[in-house]
Amino acid sequence: MSKKSFGKFIPTVAHRDGWNCHYCKKPIAKQHQMIPSEAGYTVPKGFVFGTIDHKIPRSKGGDNQLENFVLSCHVCNSKKSNKHTYLEFKTLMGGAV
Ligand SMILES: [Zn+2]
């Protein structure tokens, strides 16, 4: 597994959507809040590690465009994985579709 790093698209997507996980609404740590560690970074207590989720996975033809990105914590992103579509997972998490 590669070192965790701060995804280059996170600030752009967070600027659009706010600094919360799109699915579970937990606060995503901003770059300056992250704590360097042996694994790359850890996040302060109460925050989650942000990732970019592709609404339509690249394996299903989704592209690397801002409209296809949502800010997701690493927990939601790994739960969603490629087992659920965006709408399925959002419904599963109780979000309004
Ligand atoms: Zn989440």
pLDDT tens, the chain, 97 aa long = 344 567 789 999 999 999 999 999 999 999 999 999 998 889 999 999 999 999 998 888 999 999 999 999 999 999 998 889 999 999 999 865 5
Ligand 1 centroid–CA 46 distance in Å is 12
DSSP state of 39: T
The 3-state DSSP composition of the chain as helix, strand, coil percent (nearest 5) reads 30, 20, 45
Cβ neighbours around 31 below 10 Å, total: 13
Residue 92 contacts by C-beta under 8 Å, 6 or more apart in sequence? 84
Ligand 1 centroid–CA 15 distance in Å is 17
50: its two tokens: 């942000």
Task: Give the domain range for residue 85.
Answer: 10-92
Ligand 1 centroid–CA 38 distance in Å is 24
Domain assignment of residue 32, yes or no: yes
Number of domains in the chain: 1
Domain assignment of residue 3, yes or no: no
Domain assignment of residue 2, yes or no: no
Record the pTM.
0.84
